[in-house]
Structure formats: C-alpha cells, structure tokens
Amino acid sequence: MTYVVGENCIKCKYTDCVEVCPVDCFYEGPNMLVINPEECIDCALCEPECPADAIYTENELPQEQEKFLSLNRELATHWPNISEAKLPPDDADDWLDKPGKHALLEKNWSA
C-alpha cells in the first residue's frame, strides 16, 4: 500500500509532509506535490502533517480522485525530489478546499 497526494494539494502545495518523510518520497511540481509509490514505505507520518488534508492511503482515496494514484506514479518520475519544507505559495490558503482543481494541475517542470 502507498500514500497518495490528491487534488486538494493543487495550488496549495504545503510542504509540511516533506519534513517528516523518512524516505524522501515526495516530488515537487509547479503547483502540487506527489508521492512516488515505489518509494513510499507506508509509515503514515505525512498524512496528519498535511494542512490541506490532501494525503490518503490508496485504499481510502475518494473514488473521484482515483486518477491521482496513477498521476502520483507518473509525475514522480518527471519532477524533482523534495526533502525539505518550503514556504507555500502566497495564495495557498485561498485555494484550500476549493473543488475542481484537477484542471489547474501543471505537469511541466523545468527547474
């Protein structure tokens, strides 16, 4: 089993979860984080740290967000690894709990 970053991370991109991950399995995109399911050890430390409640176990992932399991897997292979917390975007709180953010996901990354 793995943990999955879901839709509520889009445009919020809080990184509190990154600080507690013992295996550094988070990857950073332009406006979202993802978890590499091949690296996640199912330790459950990240889930309670997420201020956006955007992290789920794959078994508890809401049905309408099941596509995020494959998105996490795909995007983790393209985005850079992140192992230290950063400041969230200035408008992160404005995007918290807004529905329908999937269309706003930016997949391209050039660091």
pLDDT tens-digit series, residues 29-47: 999 999 999 999 999 999 9
pLDDT digits (tens, 9 = 90+) for 82-103: 999 999 999 999 999 999 999 9
**Percent of all residues in the chain with a pLDDT value above 70, rounded to a whole number:** 97
Asked if pLDDT for residue 108 goes beyond 90, the answer is no
**pLDDT for position 111:** 53
Query: Which pTM does this prediction carry?
Result: 0.94
User: Is the predicted pLDDT of residue 22 greater than 60, yes or no?
Assistant: yes
Q: Which domains, ranges and CATH numbers included, belong to the chain?
A: 3-83 (3.30.70.20)
Rounded to 5 degrees, φ, ψ at 27 are -130, 145
